[in-house]
Amino acid sequence: MSENPHQCLNCGHTLTGRYCVNCGQKADTHRITTRHFIMHDLLHGTLHIEKGLFFTIIQVLKHRGQTALDYISGKRIRYYNVFYLSLILLSLNILAVVFKHRILPDTAMKHSGEVSSVFVFAAANMKFIVLTFIPFMALNSLILFRRKKHNYAEHVVAAGFCMVAALTLALIANLILLLGNITFFSYLGSFVGFLVFLTPLFFYFSYSAPQYRFWGYSWRILLFYVLFILQVFILILLLSFAFTGELNISGEINLN
């Protein structure tokens, strides 16, 4: 490691500004202290309102598909990785649902063995679930919104942003339902949960504009839902077969 103050401490490249042009590290690196670690690396780096995790969530809920378009066009430094964020949100959703069934046992399914099997399976395969749903959505948008002239990878990024919006609303719904069996919170949680299902409708309306008019978009998003539901259904059947489980008429998965 170079001790020359005019050289990058990470790669040794000559510094000409606030950042190293070779590796991107800041020029004003200094000794790590407890205060700096907590206030900057932990809180500022993760929760800063102008950059990072919360910024990405706020933008995708506020601007929907336009956020993905901005990212695809090159405005990327402010945003948290949407795929990592999807995994974080999915983990929080699973924890919230499990916790809800523990503190509100009367809201749990009757067959606790089936519930535990479903959550054990979901917890063990979170990455697979997210990385399967996102490519499905990307494939459908690639087929249906070809006028955007985005390649498949760019559609995957857009689907990642859509997934962040859906998982955020799902988490809000689960947290509301944690407040108990009060009628108001039950209805409110159910309403927010319904918005999760509508997330692609609003997200891709913003994403596909202005290439598609109302009716052109309407039949495309309807077909998007049909294809996605069919893909998910086939995926569940394949997973049920792969893990030697059974798919009940009610849609529950029993794992042996």
Contacts of 161 (CB under 8 A, 6+ apart): 60, 65, 67, 68, 71, 82, 203
Question: Dmax over Cα atoms in the chain, in whole Å?
Answer: 70
Q: What is the mean pLDDT of residues 86-115?
A: 70
For residues 28-32, give the mean pLDDT: 64
Distances from the Cα of 83 to the Cα of 35, 138, 206, angstroms = 30, 13, 20
pLDDT of 147-194, one tens digit each? 999 999 999 999 999 999 999 999 999 888 887 667 777 888 889 989
> Which residue is associated with the tokens 């809800």?
100
Least confident of 60-64, 66-70, 105-109, 232-236: 105-109
Calculate ∠ Cα 19-82-175, nearest 5°: 125
37-46, 80-89, 240-249, range with greatest mean pLDDT: 80-89
Residue 6 confidence (pLDDT): 73
Interval 128-149: pLDDT, tens: 766 788 999 999 999 999 999 9
Task: State the average pLDDT over residues 84-102.
Answer: 85
In the prediction, which pLDDT does 10 show? 79
pLDDT over threshold 90, residue 78: no
Name which of 30-44, 76-90, 193-207 the model is least confident about. 30-44
Helices (H), the chain: 34-36, 45-47, 53-63, 65-73, 82-103, 112-124, 126-144, 152-177, 183-208, 214-242
Residue with tokens 């089936």: 114
Burial of residue 42, with CB atoms counted within 10 A of its CB: 0-12 exposed, 13-18 middle, 19 or more buried: exposed
Lowest-confidence range among 106-110, 199-203, 206-210? 106-110
Tell me the average pLDDT of the chain. 79
C-alpha to C-alpha distance for 82 and 252, rounded to whole angstroms: 29
Between 233 and 106, residue with greater pLDDT: 233
> Is the pLDDT score of 111 beyond 50?
no
